Amino acid sequence: MIIPTYDDVLDASERIKGHVNKTPVLTSRTLNDRLEAEVYFKGENYQRVGAFKFRGAMNAVSKLSDKERKKGVIAFSSGNHAQAIALSAKLFNVPATIIMPEDAPALKVAATAGYGAHIIKYNRYTEDREHIGRQLAAKHGYVLIPPYDHPDVIAGQGTSAKELFEEVGELDALFVPLGGGGLLSGSALAARSLSPGCKVFGVEPEAGNDGQQSFKSGSIVHIDTPSTIADGAQTQHLGEYTYAVIRENVDDILTVSDEELVECMHFLAERMKLVVEPTACLGFAGALLKKRELVGKKVGIILSGGNVDMKRYATLILGTENCLKN
């Protein structure tokens, strides 16, 4: 097993340049005043397919050989990785099969089908998507591109934090949403090279704190599929690669409640006119937990994506307050 390094992030960045959007860095004076800190949001909700996952998917698909491209790719995903693989495959004329949960958000299923991918559904509470994926890959010769535990995927995801550091300079702290750890491990590699003093925090939904348990216990902890509105972080465990990078390069893993996520979503919409999905609020909610320690500091927060069904969004926001209410 060869653990990815920052050089792989650099290679990925060259390879996917021109295909991925350089996403904007966004700030709020209100937030900076209230936190007495300088906060920089990296807006991956403005990435193609609406989430950072296009970076890793594009890097992985562009590295395939001609022979592999002919056979096609397969991926399992609750949503954004599915869309990312479907679009990356389409851009290279590669056939794509995507395994999605029956209860995946309708918008994400429709978008994936819209990119021309073949969709296979499974029950996320009773069936094992990794097993289904491996079986189909073996049967048809597809290349399986996992959503996080793959060196090319990790390297691609790291290009978002790389852009952030290049644009705003070194940071005191970086807060990153955590599911299976592709985004966090790539971001940590970028931080270690571009801003060595930066503390890197992964933030999980409290219902699914397997990453925190793994980080503390020193081995990968598996949990049942957690119940949380953060559908992009309903992962059951970190990966071998992501855990190896996280263990060495991340400072701590925090957890937040679904309510805190919605309050952040509310603030981002009301004050910054940003539509982000619940999972994308993990980093922001984690930063608010640490607000006392962030006074006077320069802070980066990755907003990982913006794919949320508008009816669900409205329902979630209804009756909540924004996260700066006090």
Active site residues: 53, 78, 204, 208, 210, 304
Round to whole Å and give the CA distance between 83 and 294: 35
Kindly tell me which of 21 and 293 has the beta carbon lying closer to ligand PLP.
Answer: 21
Cβ contacts of 243 within 8 Å, gap of 6 or more: 181, 214, 220
Kindly tell me which of 30 and 249 has the beta carbon lying closer to ligand PLP.
Answer: 249
- Within residues 72-91, the interface with ligand PLP by CB under 6 A covers 80
- In which residue are the tokens 């924004």 written? 322
Q: Which residues pair with 120 in a beta bridge?
A: 99
Q: Which of 53, 129, 150, 290 touches ligand PLP (CB under 6 A)?
A: 53
Question: Nearest Cα to 302, choosing from 109, 168, 197?
Answer: 168
Helix, strand, coil fractions of the chain, as percent rounded to 5: 50, 15, 35
Residue type, 325: K
Interface stretch with ligand PLP, choices 94-102, 115-123, 229-237, 244-252 (CB under 6 A): 229-237
Residue 179 Cβ vs ligand PLP, minimum distance, rounded to whole Å = 3
Interface stretch with ligand PLP, choices 61-69, 137-145, 251-259, 274-282 (CB under 6 A): 274-282
- Within residues 152-211, the interface with ligand PLP by CB under 6 A covers 157, 177-184
Contact flag: residue 233 with ligand PLP (CB under 6 A): yes
Phi/psi region, residue 50 (left: phi>0; alpha: psi -120 to 50; beta: rest), is: left
Contact flag: residue 232 with ligand PLP (CB under 6 A): yes
Please tell me the count of residues contacting ligand PLP according to CB under 6 A. 22
Residue 80 Cβ vs ligand PLP, minimum distance, rounded to whole Å = 3
The count of residues in the chain is 326
Kindly tell me which of 184 and 323 has the beta carbon lying closer to ligand PLP.
Answer: 184
Terminus-to-terminus CA distance in the chain, angstroms?
A: 48
Contact flag: residue 304 with ligand PLP (CB under 6 A): yes
- Within residues 93-122, the interface with ligand PLP by CB under 6 A covers none
Cβ atoms of residues 288 and 323 within 8 Å: yes
What are the Cα distances from residue 132, in Å, to 29, 135, 222? 48, 5, 19
Residue 289 Cβ vs ligand PLP, minimum distance, rounded to whole Å = 17
Interface stretch with ligand PLP, choices 18-26, 35-43, 213-221, 231-239 (CB under 6 A): 231-239
Q: Which of 35, 51, 87, 203 touches ligand PLP (CB under 6 A)?
A: 51
Residue 216 Cβ vs ligand PLP, minimum distance, rounded to whole Å = 18
Residue 173 Cβ vs ligand PLP, minimum distance, rounded to whole Å = 18
Cβ atoms of residues 175 and 300 within 8 Å: yes
Cα torsion angle, 260, 266, 270, 273, sign = positive
Round to whole Å and give the CA distance between 117 and 94: 10
Residues that bind ligand PLP (CB under 6 A): 51, 53, 80, 147-148, 157, 177-184, 232-233, 235, 277, 279-280, 304-305
